[in-house]
Amino acid sequence: MNMDFLTFCRMHGVMVDRLPPAGKIKAFGTERHPRSQNGRVMFDGGWGWVQNWETMTSAAVWFPKKTLTEAEKAAYRQKVQASMKRDALRRHAAKQRMVERWNSLPPLVGGHPYLERKGLSMLGCSQLRIDKDLLVVPMYRNGCLVSLQTISPDGEKRFAKDCPAKGASLILRRRSSAVTCFCEGLATGLSIFQCIPRSTVVVCFNTAGLVEVSKAWKPLGMCCVCADNDHATEQKPPFINPGIKAGTEAARNLHCGLAYPEGIEGTDFNDAMQEWGSSAPWRIRMMVERSAGAV
């Protein structure tokens, strides 16, 4: 039975290698980002739930493979509600600690090893802060700070513990922008911002976030979704490209075009910028403009 639950978690992209303590919510890495803590799991002996913040907007509940009576179903639902209530209280306290931390941090000046490794300048980085050697990225929803993402010098990314950021983004804004680009990830967003002088960039933080932000956004002028091209995942079951799949859905929500890098070893526009070298700015600009209908 326990192995059934572990398989259930892995089917949702959360890399659970052991059962968490009974009744406790524990963070795990995901298939796409094994070193992250973007997965949440709770197992209580006879039932459990899992959520992958990168791809899921709500938790998926697992029950044993047996026929349940109506009374048992009602009891399970009560347990889920009680668990979610405890989780909500924990998230509220965590958000308060997160805001206090953010307010105490100094702005980023003079660059950061992660940006340097990604071939990026400080253009577009005015909203970032620093915590010792960690780059700290604010995550907003409806103008309110809801979470933080930290990035280590070697690129390890973590979200603020117990601060879910469904539909959160960071907007790299230009007053005179000709096109608004939506993408997944800070380095990708900064690459687009630095390569397209008249762009505003909406940085989402995972594929699920890209879709959620696109649902709530009211587009003005030209838009383009700049998706990741996770071409390697197409070579193994379930033979899906998560980046293009989410990008296509987001573009449909925004009624705009879709652009993604092709013919590169990497997956996103930062990889493309580094692989294409000096030709990257005009190549990325042309791809976005074509997809946005400007050409």
Query: What span, in angstroms and rounded, lies between the C-alpha atoms of 91 and 27?
Result: 14
Q: In this predicted model, what pLDDT tens digit does every residue of 84-123 receive, in sequence order?
A: 788 788 888 999 999 999 999 999 999 999 999 999 999 9
Query: What span, in angstroms and rounded, lies between the C-alpha atoms of 215 and 149?
Result: 22
Given a cut of 70, is residue 215 above it in pLDDT? yes
Query: What span, in angstroms and rounded, lies between the C-alpha atoms of 226 and 257?
Result: 9
One-letter amino acid of 150 = T
- Can you read off the two tokens belonging to residue 85? 């209530």
CB 172 within 8 A of CB 190: yes
5: left (phi over 0), alpha (psi -120 to 50) or beta: alpha
Cross-strand pairs, 25 = 42
**Residue 224 φ then ψ, to 5°:** -155, 135
The reply to whether CATH 3.40.50 applies to domain 166-295 is no
Segments of the chain assigned to CATH 3.40.1360: 166-295
Place of tokens 């979200």: 159
Estimate to the nearest angstrom the gap between the alpha carbon of 44 and the chain centroid.
28
One-letter amino acid of 278 = S
Report residue 137's pLDDT band, with 50, 70 and 90 as the boundaries.
very high
Q: In this predicted model, what pLDDT tens digit does every residue of 141-192 receive, in sequence order?
A: 999 999 999 999 999 999 998 887 889 999 999 988 999 999 999 999 999 9
Given a cut of 50, is residue 294 above it in pLDDT? no
First-residue to last-residue Cα distance in the chain: 57
- Can you read off the two tokens belonging to residue 205? 């933080």
- pTM, full prediction: 0.77
Q: In this predicted model, what pLDDT tens digit does every residue of 47-94 receive, in sequence order?
A: 888 988 888 877 888 877 666 788 887 887 787 778 778 878 888 899
- What percentage of residues in the chain have a pLDDT greater than 90? 61
SS3 99: helix
